[in-house]
Chain A
Amino acid sequence: MAAVTGLERPLSPGPARPGRSRAWRAVVFALAGLYFLVPLGASLWYTIHTPTTGVSFAPYAELLTAEGFISSLALSLALALATIALVLLLTLPAMLAVRLFAPGLRPLMEVLCTLPLVVPPITFVAGLSTSLRVGADVLAPTPFWATLIAIQDPGFPVVLVLAYVVLVLPFVYRSLDAGLRTMDVRTLVEAGRNLGASWPQVLLRVVVPNLRSALASASFLTLALVFGEYTVSRLLGYQPFAVWIVTVSGSRGQLSVAVSILSLLLVWLLLLAVSTAFGREKK
């Protein structure tokens, strides 16, 4: 999981240097191309070729009818959308409030939002599953018990959304922070308020439009992370997309590789969509 998307880069052509070292550059590109492209090609070949039947695209056709494919895909997408909505609803107002009204809290916010980076997901889920187990015992006589059970509903496990919000918090915080740095929030908000705009209007029609590329990059990172997330969902016993791929790989190796190729394509298309939609804005 990465902290950066590459969307943040300035598009300067880079320092021009004498071209005498063309040769080593060609060698570097050739080796990198070999290392990064061979697994892609090999995986594609693996899915369409078997020694017995020759070349066939059957694994890709099988996908749509494979048991659990549609439902796990739908679950992952729903989890991703819910996570994006929740994390933005929580962080954006908090970051604005701290910037405008309580600048003293900024270092605290930064530390809190960076802390999940230090906690590997597997250790977080170890703590989470322990507290869910202990919580069920402690809360059994109270009405909160029903809530605790409800958020663990296998149909739509809210507990995963909560956990994912924690996992993406550092990345979302950093992209929004970078976005907010490029604008004068205070002046914009005061101007809007003086002209009679309500708080929701200021937020939706002044702040959000100025933050579009930061919001897009935060959403892309969240979507990519949630879509590929395996650790938390497997250890809590749910079956979104990544867990399904592993489950199906036991009996149908070709199918799991085919799905892996498709999910790489999906991440690629998403990044392209985000960067073409938002990358051309003025810096």
Chain B
Amino acid sequence: MRRPAGWLGALPLLVFYAFVFGIPLAALLAGAFTSRGEPTLANLRQSLEGGNLTAMIGSVQVSAVVALSGAVLGTFLAYAVVTSRSAALRGAVLTASGVLANFGGVPLAFFWVATLGNSGVVSGLLGLPSGSLYSFWGLVIVYLYFSVPLMVLVMAPALDGLRPQWREAAANSGATAWHYWRHVGLPVLTPALLGGVVLLFGAAFAAYATAAAMGAGTVVPLVTLKIANALTSDVLVGQENVALALSLDMIVIAGLVMAVYLPLQRRSTRWLR
């Protein structure tokens, strides 16, 4: 094989990457640290004050609650599926999870508006007060609709990797179900569990379309909605650079969370081969 020129196959991707991903990131960084051409930290300071700070905290809270509750519920569902004897049920739940985990955004918002919105079918039946969906917990319920299936997809292979022999060995050595889970099951599952939590957090944190289509921004402050407003509104002239600073804050938070996930993911794939 002719070696010298071989790596050139990677060149188009690298050039594309530098232009389409590198330039916007550079523009983001440059914009976040300048105001009218002057280097400054004022944008970053503003992005962590008042309404912007509230929105950032709101986003982190929603994402954390969704990630933790989604992880617990998804793990239970995955365990129920994995231990069920019916292959048809297993196939159905896993396929449905594959669809729903990839199904977020705008249509998801309208499903829930039709169900629990102010003129929704179920809210009418239950007599829910107007605006129930457009609250913190309303948003959590909506986000769980794609988070739980995502967790099922993450946990099902991990739970499949728990060998029945381990449980039998534990039982033969006199362990109770609690002992088994405490000392065998959970330690093996921990990487997958934490990885799932991080994945759910990242997905909820970055979500914009669902909240925007629901019109939830008026009640639940979210940083993604803040950024979008600052970018599109003509009223807030000069706010673009604050939006860029807010974006930088988001990337830092998402990066810190992802930094936990990537090494863990490698570890869990090695374990559960």
What residues of chain A have their CB less than 8 Å away from a CB belonging to chain B? 1-10, 12-17, 19, 21, 24-25, 28-29, 32, 35-36, 38-40, 42-43, 45-47, 89-91, 93-94, 96-98, 100-102, 105, 109, 112, 114-131, 134-135, 162-163, 165-166, 189-190, 193, 221, 224-225, 228-231, 234-235, 242, 245-246, 249, 253, 256-257, 259-261, 263-264, 267-268, 271-272, 275
| B1→A120 contact, CB < 8 A | no
**Shortest CB distance B245–A (Å):** 10
Contact (Cβ within 8 A) A126 B121: no
Q: Does B129 contact A (CB under 8 A)?
A: no
Chain B residues numbered 15-32 whose CB sits less than 8 Å from any CB in chain A: 16-17, 20-21, 23-28, 31
Bound together, the chains give a CA A38 to CA B121 distance in angstroms of 10
Q: Beyond A165-B20, A271-B102: 9 further Cβ-contacts under 8 Å?
A: A13-B85, A14-B82, A17-B164, A19-B85, A39-B112, A102-B6, A123-B250, A230-B105, A264-B99
B244 contacts A by Cβ under 8 Å: yes
Partner of B7, one of A97, A221, A224: A97
Q: How far is the CA of A221 from the CA of B1 in the complex (A)?
A: 34
Please, which residues of chain A bring their CB within 8 A of the CB of B87? 13
Min CB distance, A226 to chain B, in Å? 11
Q: How far is the CA of A270 from the CA of B12 in the complex (A)?
A: 30
Q: In the complex, what residue of chain A is closest to B87 when comparing beta carbons? A: A13
Tell whether, in the assembled complex, residue A271 and residue B99 are in contact, meaning their CB atoms are under 8 Å apart: yes
Q: Is B235 an interface residue when CB atoms closer than 8 A count as contact?
A: no
Closest B residue to A19 by CB, please name it: B85
Closest residue on chain A to residue B18 by CB atoms: A112
Convert B70-83 into 0s and 1s, putting 1 for each residue whose CB lies closer than 8 angstroms to a CB of A: 00000011001011
With most chain A CB atoms within 10 A of its CB, the pick from B25, B27, B98, B208 is B98
Contact (Cβ within 8 A) A32 B77: yes
Partner of A42, one of B100, B104, B121: B121
Task: Name B's interface SS.
Answer: helix
- Shortest CB distance A161–B (Å): 10
CB distance B3 to A101 under 8 Å? yes
- For B14, give its contact among A94, A193, A230 (CB under 8 Å): A94
Given A2-B203, A93-B12, do A260 and B106 touch, yes or no (CB 8 Å)? yes
The answer, yes or no, to whether B107 is at the interface (CB within 8 Å) is: yes
Assembled-state Cα–Cα distance A9/B91 (Å): 10
Judge whether B231 and A112 touch: CB under 8 Å: no
Residue in A38, A94, A101 whose CB lies within 8 Å of B13? A94
Instruction: Evaluate whether A123 and B251 lie within 8 angstroms (CB atoms) in the complex, with A42-B122, A46-B120 already known.
Output: yes
Instruction: Report how many residues on chain B are interfacial, defined by Cβ distance under 8 Å.
Output: 99
Contact B114 A46 (CB under 8 A): yes
Q: Are A98 and B240 in contact (CB under 8 A)?
A: no
**Can you name 6 A-B pairs with beta carbons within 8 Å?**
A2-B146, A29-B80, A118-B254, A120-B251, A249-B110, A257-B111
B160 close to A (CB within 8 Å): yes
Contact call B12/A17, Cβ cutoff below 8 A: no
Q: Which residues of B contact A134 (CB under 8 A)?
A: 27
Q: List the B residue with the shortest CB-CB distance to A259.
A: B107
CB of A44 to closest CB in B, whole Å? 9
Tell me which residues across on chain A come within 8 A of B140, comparing CB atoms. Answer: none
Complex Cα–Cα for A24 and B79 (A): 11
Q: Of all chain A residues, which has the CB nearest B205?
A: A120
Give the residue among B99, B101, B248 with the most A Cβ atoms within 10 A: B99
Tell me which of B160, B203, B212 contacts A1 (CB under 8 A). B203
A125 to B89 CA separation, bound complex (whole angstroms):
41
A98-B11 Cα distance, complex, nearest whole Å: 10
List residues of B (216-273) whose CB comes within 8 Å of A's CBs.
224, 227-228, 231-232, 240, 243-244, 247-248, 250-251, 254-255, 258, 262
Interface flag for B57 (CB, 8 Å)? no
Mask, B94-131, CB within 8 Å of A = 1, is 11111111111111101111110001111000000000
* Minimum C-beta distance from A90 to chain B (A): 4
User: A124 vs B254: C-alpha distance in the bound complex, in angstroms?
Assistant: 13
Task: Please report the C-alpha to C-alpha distance between residue A82 and residue B233 in the assembled complex, in whole angstroms.
Answer: 31
Query: Assuming the A-B contacts A102-B6, A130-B24, A230-B209, are A94 and B247 also in contact, with contact meaning beta carbons closer than 8 angstroms in the complex?
Result: no
